[in-house]
Amino acid sequence: MKEIIRAAVAVIVVSALLLYINSQLGKTSGSSGNDTITVYNWGEYLDPELLDQFTEETGIRVVYETFDSNEAMMTKVEQGGTSYDVAMPSEYMIEKMKEEDLLIPLDHSKIPNLDNIDPYFLDLPFDPGNEYSVPYFWGTVGIAFNPDLLEEDFDFTSWEDLWSPELRQQVILVDSAREVMGMGLNSLGYSLNSTDESELNAASAKLDELTPNVKAIIGDEIVEMMRRSEAAIALTWSGQALDMMYVNESIDFAVPEEGSNLWFDNMIIPKTADNVDGAHQFINFMLDAEVAAQNADWVGYSTPNAAGLELMDPEVTGDERFYPDEEIRGRLEVYRNLGPEMTGEYNERFLRFKMGMN
């Protein structure tokens, strides 16, 4: 009995000691005071130095948490029990959250730095007048390819190139219904938000023709496969393509001319926010030209911040693959929330395409 009591006491002492160390660590990493905000973001999607800088400037301590999918983020917000003050979901999720009444409208008078944002990225159909959201990063869907592994010369200025008979078993697709269906629709010149039965049928048929060229349909492993030159061509997001290029310099990226998807991650204030004022301060801080430039540098994605762009390395911002000119941008489309029924339809068609692979 004595031994058990002794062991229990030891456990309690160790826990108390660790708790004490943790509270000391918490104090040194943040500033004093109870003024905190909780930021809920994708993993590896914000330069941690900026959080310290924000705390220094405003005295508000930042609790930083990460999520791995829009759906997981929304579930946590919906369930309550947490007090996220700022979150960075993608555009279609904002439409959905708006419908579910999970967002707090932004007070534009508290976000003067909104003027730094390129007007092209403001007032978009998923959030007219930017009532609830401010763009954080943006990008496109396109084709990452490794010319060293291809026998013929392809520049992938057209989706049609993917269907070339020379590319048997070479193409990797990202495992996502909207991207793959969107590619099918775009290659035929239709909108990637199409809800027209005959257009969707045509896209499905077109995708089935691609089957002999498809090597795999996978998720985040794409990056690693492309980096190791295990695959030559991948349908992917611009940010992932950049991740690949960072390691494997032979890789190139192209956004086909027929059009493609333009995606956004945006800063919003969920209904669960405790510190709405602090959240506004944080959003305004992130929109500051210098901060946005530093963050874009660290993350590597394309920033919508026009003032920030001017401070960045022109070699990066002049790269048309990641900062396409107006003409290409004009052909890009933002995903709309298609409603549960059409989303189901897209998923169903994608599933049938995948099953046809075997």
Q: Which residues are annotated as a binding site?
A: 44, 92
Q: How far is the CB of 10 from other proteins (least distance, A)?
A: 10
Query: Residue 82, interface with other proteins (CB under 8 A)?
Result: yes
CB 156 within 8 A of CB 256: yes
81 binds other proteins (CB under 8 A): yes
Give the residue ranges of the annotated binding site for spermidine.
Answer: 44, 92
By CB under 8 A, tell whether 38 contacts other proteins.
Answer: yes
Phi-psi region of 87 (alpha: psi -120 to 50; beta: other; left: phi over 0): beta
Minimum CB distance to other proteins, residue 84 (Å): 8
Among 31, 53, 66, 158, the residue binding other proteins under the rule CB under 8 A is: 66
Whole-angstrom distance, CA of residue 237 vs CA of residue 233: 13
Is 79 a binding residue for other proteins by CB under 8 A? The answer is: yes
Strand pairing partners for 103?
270
Report the residue from 74, 172, 223, 289 that binds other proteins according to the rule CB under 8 A. 223
Nearer to other proteins, 183 or 268 (CB): 268
Interatomic CA distance for residues 29 and 24, integer angstroms: 9
Residues 6+ apart with CB under 8 A from 21: none
Residue (124 or 269) nearer to other proteins, CB: 269
* DSSP-derived pairing of the beta strands 332-333 and 86-87: unpaired
Rg of the chain in Å (alpha carbons): 23
- Token readout for 58 is 């405003």
Question: Minimum distance from CB of 81 to other proteins (Å)?
Answer: 4
Q: Closest Cα partner for 203 from 178, 218, 183, 173?
A: 183
How many residues line the site for other proteins (CB under 8 A)? Answer: 41
Name the residues that contact other proteins, by CB under 8 A. Answer: 1, 3-4, 7-8, 11-12, 14-15, 18-19, 21-22, 25-26, 28-29, 38, 42-45, 63-68, 76, 79-83, 220, 223-224, 227-228, 243, 247
